[in-house]
């Protein structure tokens, strides 16, 4: 049940060949000929802040590769609560499904651009491209890793350790895609962070203040922090 998005029409030279995330997305294993095919079976779509991309249990029809912005993926629990599974970054591939339906919901955080692949067309193409099939298997397993990481954090750590681990993981994710990992942007809301970490928003605010008082971080703004002491940050999460 997708809402309307603006579709940008580009030729392969501007959209695929010069894509800023190509070097760390699954497209890195494609040659120029295959890249042209990928251009032909995909569209680029733009989503506004908080716009739903798809809902849990919607019929799965598309797969997505983020080219700009961030996405949160979450599941709706039987009691109506939201359980955030993780936060996705440029280069991340998402849209896993089971029995023809999406396993979770996905919402844009800020403005998001994504390459959208019709599932049926992509499935036919990867049947003939073993390297790409392996790359997609690796990327879709990343969603499982996110869920496992969250359970590990919730099971082992107290509030301070959970927030510290979260900040460290965001820093490492930014480094993975070639961004500066300090200072780091936190585009998600404090409520989203609280939901992800299994804490209240009041506890999250208090723990940010503790890390600041301990000279582990500096709070530059509501959406940006500077890690003052990486060693201390790592130590509180081990």
pLDDT at 207: 96
Q: Which two tokens stand for residue 79?
A: 């009691």
Query: Average pLDDT, stretch 69-92?
Result: 88
Q: Give domain status of residue 150, yes or no.
A: no
Same domain, 89 and 124: yes
Look at residue 52 and tell me whether its pLDDT is greater than 50. Answer: yes
- Cα-Cα-Cα-Cα dihedral sign, residues 126, 174, 7, 105: positive
CB atoms within 10 A of CB 47: 25
Look at residue 8 and tell me whether its pLDDT is greater than 50. Answer: no
Selected residue with higher pLDDT from 155 and 3: 155
pLDDT at 55: 95
Same domain, 33 and 115: yes
Domain count for the chain? 2
Specify the CATH number for the domain of residue 194: 1.10.10.10
What confidence tier does 229 reach under pLDDT thresholds 50, 70, 90?
A: very high
User: Which domain range does residue 63 map to?
Assistant: 6-131
Specify the CATH number for the domain of residue 80: 2.60.120.10
Same domain, 171 and 226: yes
Distances (CA, A) of 23 to 100, 161, 178: 30, 33, 10
Q: Give domain status of residue 145, yes or no.
A: no
Same domain, 56 and 113: yes
pLDDT at 6: 42
Any idea which of 37-46, 49-58, 59-68, 130-139 has the lowest mean pLDDT? 130-139
* Backbone phi and psi for residue 160, each to the nearest 5 degrees, phi listed first: -65, -45
66 CB-contact burial (10 Å; exposed 0-12 / middle 13-18 / buried 19+) = buried
> Which 8-state DSSP code applies to residue 59?
B
Query: Average pLDDT, stretch 221-225?
Result: 92
Phi-psi bin for 111: left (phi > 0), alpha (psi -120 to 50), beta? beta
3-state SS, residue 96: coil
What confidence tier does 212 reach under pLDDT thresholds 50, 70, 90?
A: very high
Same domain, 124 and 181: no
Alpha helices in the chain (DSSP H): 12, 32-40, 119-126, 130-156, 159-176, 190-197, 201-213, 230-235
| pTM of the full structure | 0.81
User: Of the residues 96, 131, 166, which one is the last residue of a structural domain?
Assistant: 131
Same domain, 45 and 118: yes
């Amino acid at each position: 049940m997708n809402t309307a998005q603006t579709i940008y029409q580009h030729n392969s030279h501007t959209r695929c060949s010069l894509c800023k995330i190509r070097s760390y997305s699954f497209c890195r294993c494609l040659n120029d000929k295959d890249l042209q095919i990928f251009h032909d079976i995909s569209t680029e779509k733009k989503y506004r802040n908080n716009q739903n991309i798809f809902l849990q249990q919607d019929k799965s029809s598309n797969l997505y590769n983020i080219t700009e912005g961030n996405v949160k993926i979450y599941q709706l629990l039987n009691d109506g609560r939201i359980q955030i599974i993780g936060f996705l970054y440029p280069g991340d591939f998402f849209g896993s499904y089971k029995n023809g339906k999406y396993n979770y919901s996905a919402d844009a955080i800020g403005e998001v651009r994504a390459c959208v692949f019709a599932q049926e067309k992509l499935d036919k193409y990867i049947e003939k491209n073993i390297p790409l099939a392996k790359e997609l298997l690796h990327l879709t397993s990343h969603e499982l890793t996110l869920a496992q990481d969250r359970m590990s954090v919730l099971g082992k750590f107290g509030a301070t350790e959970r927030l510290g681990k979260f900040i460290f993981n965001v820093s490492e994710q930014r480094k993975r895609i070639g961004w500066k990992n300090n200072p780091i942007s936190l585009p998600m809301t404090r409520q989203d962070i609280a939901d992800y970490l299994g804490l209240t928003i009041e506890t999250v605010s208090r723990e940010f203040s503790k890390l600041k008082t301990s000279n582990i971080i500096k709070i530059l703004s509501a959406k940006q922090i500077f890690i003052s002491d990486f060693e201390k940050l790592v130590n509180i999460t081990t």
